[in-house]
Structure formats: structure tokens, C-alpha cells
Structure 1
């Protein structure tokens, strides 16, 4: 019973759970005027995971991964499908959580609709200055 409660909390209720991150990202896409324009926001925007081979399956798994880099920063990546009244697209999400930080922060949230340029809802790497500390040589960041 305890194991079931733990998994229920970790997947659905925990602030860092993938279901919560998925719901937050979907809300951000639905609230973005440019995303609504690209998908055809006249109707309802639906979001879902990866298609399965079973045509009767309603639950579609959401593709996500979590890893910690050598500096101790935890990376959370996810992508899922969205569909509006006119077009379909894929949302890519990259969040990071530093050591000692309780919540993830958006690094990148982007919508890709075929035939249109990528739309960034969040793009932290674009706001940074080039080579703030050190220089780049032979594909290596030197500090």
C-alpha cells in the first residue's frame, strides 16, 4: 500500500512530477496568442503523448527524460503533441533545477508546426550573452 501511495504522489501530485510539468506546459501553450494562431485557436487545443500501436488505447505515454549533469544540475526534457482546429504541432520542453533549488526553471519551451518557423514560448539561452566567461576554441568552452 505504501509503495502505491509513493508512486501516486511521485507521478501525479509532486511538483516535479512529469504529469504536473506536462499540464503546466500545456496551459502555457493554450495561453500564448502566437501558438493559438499557429494551431488555429478557434476551437479547443488538445495535447497528448506519443501514438501507440493499439488503436483502442486512450492513454498515450508522454516522452520525457531526467538526468543530472556533472555540475549537479538536473535536466528535465519532454516533448508531446498538440492539435488545434487547423494544424498539429510538437512541443519541446527543457527545464533545469540547480542544486539546492526546489523548483524547475524553464530553459526552453518551443512549438514546432510543420511549414512554420519554430515558435519559442521560453528561450533562456537566447537571452544570455555570447561567451560571458571565457572563450570557445575547437568546440570547447574554455574558462
Structure 2
């Protein structure tokens, strides 16, 4: 009887320990998941280089530009490129970080803008670039520009709005030449970089032709694709 009682006691304690361990693991997993979600939200929404924060902030500046208001109205809307997924279509804000020739962290963000009714024949491709100060760590805008495209008839979206267009549409749009460019914001420092880059390009006898963006303008010289990864 004593051995049976001892076995039952040990079995009960083992079950209790297993239950406590299981609960601890569950709680730990929930806390870790919550921490990850909060970190992701901070990085995206609150951090100076958060993509959503930069998108919202730059879109406000784009909307306030007189040329944009004339082209797309006072309530222009911004949206990301649609991508296909197994369950649903997602709109993503194109972005990536790089290191420039001066060793500074750079953030490049790209999205689209059009009128609120999405009936305009034109689409604006917004390109915003920021750099991080080595001294203060603050992120400051270098430029916000809008390349204005007017898609050809064979690129028109049938049965869908521009923001619901497929990947092939955006690929064709980027390969087409913009009909104009609106400089929403270009800092003096970046303007000097442009002049220096243009001067170097002339000295190299246009050796950079074919690199960067298809319009061949100053942006092609300083496009993020030319920075160190």
C-alpha cells in the first residue's frame, strides 16, 4: 500500500510540474509575440525611419504642393503597389535602406499618387529619400519628387482602379518615360550633390548613360541602385 501511495504522489507532482511548465511556455510565447508586435509597430509607425511614418509625412507634403493640387486635386490619394499572394492582394510601399558614398544610412521610399476618384489619366510616382546624420542620428529628407506618368492605351486598367492593377502594369509604368517631374522638396545640400554628380558625369563623357532611371535626369545619377549595399 505504501509503494502504491508513493507512486500516486509522484505521478501527481509530475503532472503538476508539467502543467506549470506548459503554462509558463504559453505565457512566455504570448509575451514574446506581444513584444515583437510592439517593436514592429514602433519601427514602422513611430521611428524616424519608419516606412509608414515617412509615407504619411511625405504624402502630406505632396498633397500641399500647388502643382500636385492642380493635377490631382486637393484630396490626392496615395497607395502602394499591389502584389499577388495566395490568399489576397496586398499593397506594399516599396522601400529599402542603403549606404551612400559618405557612409551614411539612406532610406528610399516609393509609392503612387492620383486623384481621389482615381479617374485621372495620369499617375504620380512619389520618390522620397532620407539620410541619417552621423552626428545626431536624426533622419532628414534629401528630396521628395513626383514623376508624372500617363500610361499608354494598351496599359489601361480594365475593370479595376489604378490601385488594384496587377504587377505587369506597374512594371510597364516604370519602364515608360515620365511626361514631367514635380520637385516637392529638394534640400540645398542635395542640390549641391546633384551639381557635383552632373559635373563628374560630364567629365566622364557620359559614361553613366544607361544607368539609373530611364529618364536620364539627375535622379539617375543618385539613384539608390548606385549606392553600396
Please give the range of the TM-score, normalised by the shorter of the 2 chains.
0.7 to 0.9
1:46 aligns with 2:81: no
Within the candidate set 94, 112, 115, 1:63 is matched to: 94
Greater relative contact order (CA < 8 Å, ≥ 6 in sequence) = 1
Classify 1:11/1:122 alpha carbon distance in 2 versus 1 (closer, same or farther; 3 Å): same
Q: CA deviation at 1:102?
A: 3.2
In the TM superposition, structure 1's runs of 4+ consecutive aligned residues that sit over 6 Å from their partners are none
> What TM-score comes out, normalization by structure 2 length?
0.51
Larger strand percent: 1
1:81 aligns with 2:115: no
Within the candidate set 105, 127, 139, 1:104 is matched to: 139
Classify 1:23/1:56 alpha carbon distance in 2 versus 1 (closer, same or farther; 3 Å): same
SS in 1 for 2:71: helix
Q: CA deviation at 1:100?
A: 2.4
Kept after mapping to 2: 8 A contact 1:62/1:79? yes
Q: Aligned residues, how many? A: 133
Task: Calculate the aligned-residue CA RMSD, in Å.
Answer: 2.5
Larger helix percent: 2
Kept after mapping to 1: 8 A contact 2:111/2:127? yes
1:7 aligns with 2:7: no
Kept after mapping to 2: 8 A contact 1:38/1:113? no
1:126 aligns with 2:191: yes
Kept after mapping to 2: 8 A contact 1:92/1:109? yes
Kept after mapping to 2: 8 A contact 1:50/1:81? yes
Q: CA deviation at 1:105?
A: 1.6
> What TM-score comes out, normalization by structure 1 length?
0.77
- In the alignment, the residues of structure 1 paired with residue 180 and residue 100 of structure 2 have an alpha-carbon distance, to the nearest angstrom, of 30
Q: Which of 1 and 2 has greater Rg?
A: 2
Structure 2: stretches of 5+ with no match in the other structure:
1-33, 151-178, 208-229
1:72 aligns with 2:135: no
